A and B are shown apart, each in its own frame.
Chain A
Amino acid sequence: MAAGLFLLPTLLVFGVFAWWPIARSVQLSLQFTNLVDPAVWVGLDNYANLFADPLLWTTVRNTVWFVVLALLFGYPLPLVMAVVISEVRRLGGLFRVLVYLPVVIPPVVAVLMWKWFYDTEFGLFNQVLTAVGLGPMPWLQSTATAMPSLVLEATWAHAGSTVLIYLAALSSVQTELYEAAEIDGASIWRRLWHVTLPQLRAVLLIMLLLQIIGTFQVFTEPFVLTDGGPEDSTLTILLLIYRYAFINGDFGMATALSVLLAAALALLSAVYLRLTRTWSTT
């Protein structure tokens, strides 16, 4: 009885704002809904329309490209920074604050800031590049450089919190193992490879999955910096969902794409967790 009362806020909030919208998404994806006319069941029509939209494949390609670039730039970097910070010893507190500062800046402010930095004519980056004779770069203006520019900003904005997580994990690495390896004559690099990394395996694997799931849902960067341009080269899946729903007013198409994205990410997580479980037991 009392337990029920204490659980009431949880049940209400999760029921109405988590479980209900998830169930509703599946229902909406099978309906035609524009909020004006009454919803009509249309079966799988939304999905059929979605697959017929050439923009879908553009956004899938762009999003996968963003995820891959973000992994290349952003996955090894926090690990390197965490290892250096934990080994340098002095000024550890200062380093922690400095690397976390970009995370503290509200994402919208960070993105607006980088819009200034990337400006082809007046931007900080091109002024520096011109000063050292490397010439101006088109940054957000060209289809080839726009996406890498978004990834650079996103990496800068998010790396800090991952560094702190790795630092916490590093502090629980068994120091006896380092000693044993050292007595056996292992060099610093070999100790890093054979002691540090295996001990961080669990956190490294989970951060990889979380980063992939997080970057698949990128929105603020392309929305504010490029609005999907130039020529749809930075139009991501979430941006397309936003356009379907809030520009075109077609909520059925928007939820159909949401459901597909959720299914893809769930499948990815399941396969990943299964794979990594077998790795960690061998």
Chain B
Amino acid sequence: MTASAATEPASSATRRQRRRRPQDAGRGLISHADRNRPRVRWTLRVVQAVFLVGAVIVGLGPLLWTAKGAISPTQEMLQDPLRLWPSAPQWGTLASAWAELRVGHYLLNTVVLVAGSWLVQLTVATTGAFALSVLRPRYGRFVYAAVLATLFIPGTVSLVALYLTVLDLPVTGGSIANTPWAVWLPAGAHAFNVLIMKQFFDALPHELFEAAQVDGAGPVRLFWRIVMPMSRPILAVVSLLAIMSAWKEFLWPMIAIADTERQPLAVALPRLAEVAEQNQVIAGMFIATVPPLLLFLVFQRHIVRGIGFTGLKG
């Protein structure tokens, strides 16, 4: 009895709290009074110092290792892996990886695949969510349920069947395997984007849409002139998550694009690592990491917030 009485106000308070999203939390688990106690203060300082050193080594270390490896001679990487900086930096390795290993060529393939995947994801998510949230056809509920159902089926499970599908499309019967379409179109079937886009549209003031419709705005005008301009924050979040995840893709592009000439850098690298000069491969790894790294550093606030408010990112 007492236990349920104690948890009840707490759980309803939690619900209220979630909607409020406080950013100005004045205190946390450890109070100001705790912080004034010497033992707590010193423990916190030690934990902070240890954590900072650990986070720099574990988070930044591997990136620095790649940067160093990209300009070190292979021999030095093998004989003295603990060396912090190459004895004689070879900046030319980056250029020779770009030209001889054709990292530039594969990087362009990656950019093409990522750009198309992003465009398809954004198109599907915005139009689908607009129809489901604003236009609301009677059968909308069933479409939404069918979209959400795919969230519960792990993507890798239909991998083989998806491969056979792109080889032999239903109805039309053509094959898009070995073309960018085989990566672009399946990328659009990402229920999570539709879900968060619809949630955002649901929270927009619907009276505004009704007013626009009374003024004679058709659905297309409503979509382009009213809903899209109001949706910049969610478009940014979905775009960043779409681009970051498309850049990471490995298994599906490897299967869908068998022609090595058309493969993205992520698929080419393990193959190159078997045969090529090792310092050039590390230079290639470094080049593959720079674009998503820059994107993250520039937009980290959006990305951190995006992951926070989307809650889960599969």
Q: Which residues of A contact B (CB under 8 A)?
A: 2-4, 6-11, 13-14, 16-22, 24-25, 28, 33, 35, 81, 83-88, 90-91, 94-102, 104-110, 112-113, 115-117, 122-124, 127-128, 131, 156, 160-161, 164-165, 167-168, 170-179, 182, 188, 191-192, 195-196, 198-199, 203, 206-207, 210, 213-214, 216-217, 219-220, 223-224, 238, 241-242, 245-246, 251, 254-255, 258-259, 261-262, 265-266, 269
> Besides A99-B59, A168-B308, A210-B312, 18 other CB < 8 A contacts?
A3-B137, A14-B189, A20-B165, A21-B158, A22-B150, A25-B157, A28-B161, A91-B48, A101-B63, A106-B248, A108-B270, A108-B288, A165-B311, A175-B26, A182-B33, A192-B29, A214-B314, A242-B251
Q: Is B146 an interface residue (CB 8 A)?
A: yes
Measured CA separation A258–B157 after assembly (Å): 5
A241 to B155, CA, bound (A): 13
**Are B28 and A86 in touch, CB under 8 angstroms?**
yes
Given contacts A210-B314, A258-B160, A10 and B143 within 8 Å (CB-CB): yes
What distance in Å separates the Cβ of B150 from its nearest Cβ neighbour in chain A?
Answer: 5
Asked if B99 is at the interface (CB within 8 A of a chain A CB), the reply is: no
Cβ–Cβ < 8 Å partners of B157 in chain A: 22, 25, 258-259, 261-262, 265
By secondary structure, the A interface counts as helix
Contact (A20, B170) CB under 8 Å given A108-B270, A172-B18:
yes
Complex CA distance for A173 and B18, rounded to whole angstroms:
9
A98 touches B48 (CB 8 A): no
1/0 contact string of B278-314 vs chain A (CB within 8 Å): 0001100100110011001100100110011101111
Interface of B toward A, CB cutoff 8 Å: 10, 13-14, 17-18, 20-23, 25-31, 33-34, 40, 44, 47-48, 51-52, 55-56, 58-60, 62-63, 65-66, 69, 77-79, 81-82, 120, 123-124, 127-128, 130-132, 135-137, 140, 143, 146-147, 150, 152-154, 156-165, 167, 169-170, 185-186, 188-189, 191, 194, 218-220, 223, 244, 247-248, 250-251, 255, 266-267, 269-270, 273, 281-282, 285, 288-289, 292-293, 296-297, 300, 303-304, 307-309, 311-314
With a CB–CB cut-off of 8 A, which chain B residues contact A16? 165, 169-170, 185
Residue of A nearest to B23 (CB): A171
The answer to whether residues A241 and B159 also contact, given A21-B165, A97-B300, A171-B22 and a CB cut-off of 8 A, is: yes
User: Which applies to chain B's interface (DSSP): helix, strand, loop or mixed?
Assistant: helix
Distance of A170 Cα from B21 Cα, bound (Å)? 11
Chain A residues within 8 Å of B314, by CB: 210, 214
Q: Is the CB of A24 within 8 A of B82?
A: no
Instruction: Determine whether the beta carbon of B255 is less than 8 Å from that of A246.
Output: yes
> Is the pair A178, B156 in contact by a Cβ cutoff of 8 Å?
no
Given A13-B189, A258-B157: A6 and B289 interface contact (C-beta under 8 Å):
no
Can you list 25 contacts pairing A with B, beta carbon distance less than 8 Å? A2-B220, A6-B128, A7-B128, A8-B127, A9-B123, A13-B188, A16-B169, A17-B186, A24-B161, A87-B28, A99-B59, A101-B60, A108-B288, A112-B270, A128-B82, A131-B82, A168-B309, A172-B21, A174-B13, A178-B31, A241-B156, A258-B157, A258-B160, A261-B157, A262-B157
Query: Given A2-B135, A14-B189 in contact, is the A178-B60 Cβ separation under 8 Å?
Result: no
Complex contacts, A100 vs chain B, CB 8 Å: 59, 296, 300, 303-304
Q: Are B162 and A17 in contact (CB under 8 A)?
A: yes
Bound Cα distance from A131 to B81, whole angstroms: 12
Task: Provide the residues of chain A in CB contact with B18, threshold 8 Å.
Answer: 172
Given contacts A88-B51, A124-B81, A172-B22, contact A19 B31 (CB under 8 A): no
Cβ-defined contact, A13 with B250, below 8 A? no
Expressed in whole angstroms, the Cα–Cα distance for A213 and B156 within the complex equals 11
Q: Which residues of A contact B146 (CB under 8 A)?
A: 14, 19
- Contact call A112/B285, Cβ cutoff below 8 A: yes
Q: How far is the CA of A265 from the CA of B151 in the complex (A)?
A: 12
- A88 to B266, alpha carbons, bound, how many Å? 37
Of B14, B153, B160, most buried by chain A (CB within 10 Å of CB) is B160
Tell whether, in the assembled complex, residue B162 and residue A87 are in contact, meaning their CB atoms are under 8 Å apart.
Answer: no
CB-CB under 8 A for A7 and B137, given A17-B185, A213-B154: yes
Report yes or no: A191 in contact with B128, Cβ–Cβ below 8 A.
no
- Tell whether, in the assembled complex, residue B161 and residue A238 are in contact, meaning their CB atoms are under 8 Å apart: no
CB contacts (< 8 Å) of B169 on chain A: these are 16
Given contacts A6-B223, A171-B25, A175-B25, contact A88 B48 (CB under 8 A): yes
- A217–B156 contact, CB under 8 A? yes
Report, nearest first, the 4 A-B pairs whose CB atoms are least far apart: A168-B308, A10-B128, A98-B59, A6-B131
Q: Are A106 and B288 in contact (CB under 8 A)?
A: yes
Inter-chain CA distance A263–B132, complex, in Å, is: 30
Complex interface: chain A residues within 8 A of B60 (CB): 98, 101
Q: Nearest chain-A residue to B35 (Cβ)?
A: A89
Chain B residues, Cβ within 8 Å of A224: 270
Chain B residues contacting A191 (CB-CB under 8 Å) are: 29
Which residues of chain A have C-beta atoms less than 8 A from B186's C-beta?
Answer: 13, 17
Contact, CB under 8 Å: B165 / A17: yes
List, in ascending order, chain A residues with CB within 8 A of B137's CB.
3-4, 7
**Which residues of the other chain, B, contact A176 by a CB distance below 8 angstroms?**
13
Q: How far is the CA of A192 from the CA of B147 in the complex (A)?
A: 39
Hey, which chain A residues are within 8 Å of B131, CB to CB?
Answer: 3-4, 6-7, 10
| Residues from chain B with Cβ under 8 Å of A262 in the complex | 153-154, 157-158
Asked whether, in the complex, the Cβ of A124 is within 8 Å of the Cβ of B65, the reply is yes
Assuming the contacts A172-B17, A175-B27, asked whether A14 and B150 have C-beta atoms less than 8 A apart, the reply is: yes
